[in-house]
Amino acid sequence: MSILTQHFETVHNTAPFSKIKNEDYIPAFDLAITNTRAEIDAIAQATDPATFENTIEAFAFSGMALDRLSSIFFNLHSAETNEQLEQIAQDIAPKLSELGNDITLNFDLFKRIKQVYDQKEELDLTAEQMTLLEKNYKDFVRNGALLADNKKDQLRAIDSELSLLKLKYGEHILADTNAYELHLTDEADLAGLPDGVKEAAAGLAKSKDQSGWIFTLDYPSYIPFVTYADNRELRQTISIAAGKKGFQNNENNNEEIVLKISKLRFQRAQLLGYETHAHFVLEERMAQNPAKVREFLTDLLTKAKPAAKNEFDELAAFAKETDGIDKLEKWDGAYYAEKLKQKKFQLDDEQLKPYFKLENVLQGAFEIAEKLFGLHFSEVQHIDKYHPSIQTFEVTNKDGDFIAIFYADFFPRKGKRNGAWMTSFKPQYKKEGQNERPHVSIVCNFTPATATKPSLLSFNEVTTLFHEFGHALHGMLADTVYPTLSGTSVFWDFVELPSQIMENWCYEQEALTLFAKHYNTGVPIPMEMVEKIRESASFLEGMATLRQLSFGMLDMGWHGQDPTAIDDVKQFEKEQFKSTQLYPDVAENAMSTSFSHIFDGGYSSGYYSYKWAEVLDADAFDYFKQNGIFNKEIAAKFKDTVLSKGGTVHPMNLYKQFRGQEPTVEALLKRAGLLK
């Protein structure tokens, strides 16, 4: 019997990573799928009258062994993949898609859910139970339960094809990322690069038995290179390579996949009676419909564009004055922005890095969580890991009660996707008198330690850590009955509030003094540096806002209209970017072919939610600021209304319970320096 098909006899029922073999997965999935089908059949074929307990509640707790297995497998597929895992993913994705369809298109199951739904007013349900019932009913309707049989078959075929296309899309990006190396042997080409960046590049070259220095498209290598390298041609080379992922004449080209995914999503939405994929998705979002999203994006664009244009003109003039650059290109942006920031604020990321040793920043996040929410993090060695570099923590509250397991996976490696994310290996839920606590993980790609220096984070990496930690708190502090409503299982345009609000503490002196200490001397970060961090927080914010809006508009372009006639990915993108474009277009590059958030992640028709959540987080943090950033009463309200409730209550109602009012855009514009 496979380790994956048994109850884990481990501390807190944690995943036994070291005992799992790749060959365990497919038999385990096959068994878990079979068992899930049996559980569903037992609910659907029951002869007793349908009740909340024997139908809705039973359904909420069905398939949990499969969910647990899927979370382990797909988390490793993102963070620790290899060719075998990628092949297994290709094998099981259609099976899982088929099972999902078999459940949502199971008419006997739906009939029983509908029987309960039709008598919901007569039932004495809690608010959470009512939410679960309404969500179940709506999920079935939204996924084809009322379709004729021939249309159900079409839906199954579309979903199966989409599941494979999304997998291939992500694997192509990873393959292009891993295939690229900028190998330098002339030290003159390193001019401008900080010592730590050069040391890391030399270490990478050495690990590959090469001389010189190797730079890659992994963020801790790529971002410092385009930010600091004086050699403009080399910045151009690596920048174009980064923008070509999935857009090259090789086996990893994603253009056809992008077109197929967008058209299949449109067909699916039409099949279900929706105008577009965005109409389908946004029905279950705070924004409600594409018109409201476009109105939101256009309103912000109108307010941000004049500032963005002025900032771009200032940056272009600075590059001209500094180095005689006649036309500012994309590979110049980060480089001259860093130089201008240094000139304006005398603030350099390299000056800041010594104060942001990774271990100290993580400890700072823990201390802030303790001050706000009474949490305590203890590193433990007796919990299994899927890679030696991962840290594991037991989380308890002020009374010593066990709250969660927290995994931290910080450094890039082969087989790990770029970017940063929070995920879960086990959800929180309550069953048979037991409050099952969650196992939560954050996965990042930070600058690793070198032979002479510990891992020192850029300020952007500091805010990334706090962002993902905010998601983790949302998972860890969950306190709901049903796993499908727990933690981050909320409307997609609400899920970024807990993460984005945590970034605010990174700019506050009272918080920075807790953890920003020089890695060599232990001296706290000087207050003038803290002031400069705050002053520079809105530096080029107009341009940054325009960039985010451009991504949201591209997303709505693919998903908020009929994409059937689109046959050229690049040409379509150029049309979508017209209103937000500042830099000249780069012919060799495309965004959509590596826009994982919307084609391989969960953000299709939802990328706007980053800016939407910024409105929420700016408004929410303003409440803290007015009353003290460590105000325990407001922190308790935030925990009790936002962090612990998951998806049990409509997010706007939760927000109003916390804030006493709906959010306003003014707090965001003020923070961004866009409100004059």
187 is catalytic: no
Long-range contact list for 428-435, CB < 8 A, 24+ apart? 428/404, 428/475, 428/478, 428/479, 428/480, 428/483, 428/486, 428/487, 429/61, 429/480, 429/481, 429/482, 429/483, 429/486, 430/480, 430/481, 431/61, 435/479
- What is the DSSP-derived secondary structure letter of residue 594? G
Q: Please spell the DSSP secondary structure of 513-544, one letter per residue.
A: HHH-B-TTT-PBPPHHHHHHHHHHTTTTHHHH
Tell me the C-alpha distance between 505 and 530, whole Å.
12
Residue 315 identity: L
SS3 19: helix
Count of C-beta atoms within a 10 Å radius of residue 321: 9
- What is the DSSP-derived secondary structure letter of residue 120? G
Contact 285, 609 (CB under 8 A): yes
> Can you tell me which residue has the tokens 């807990």?
498
SS3 415: coil
> Catalytic residue among 468, 496, 508, 573, which?
468
SS3 617: helix
Long-range contact list for 602-605, CB < 8 A, 24+ apart? 602/492, 603/492, 603/555, 604/265, 604/277, 604/281, 604/555, 604/558, 604/559, 605/277, 605/278, 605/280, 605/281, 605/282, 605/290, 605/293, 605/555, 605/556, 605/559, 605/560
Identify which of 52, 173, 51 has the alpha carbon closest to the alpha carbon of residue 593: 173
Tell me the C-alpha distance between 619 and 238, whole Å.
39
Beta-sheet strand order (sheet of 421-426)? 376-379, 391-396, 402-409, 439-443, 421-426
- Phi then psi for residue 248, to 5 deg, are -120, 165
Identify which of 653, 640, 34, 593 has the alpha carbon closest to the alpha carbon of residue 262: 593
Contact 615, 663 (CB under 8 A): yes
* Active-site annotation, residues: 468
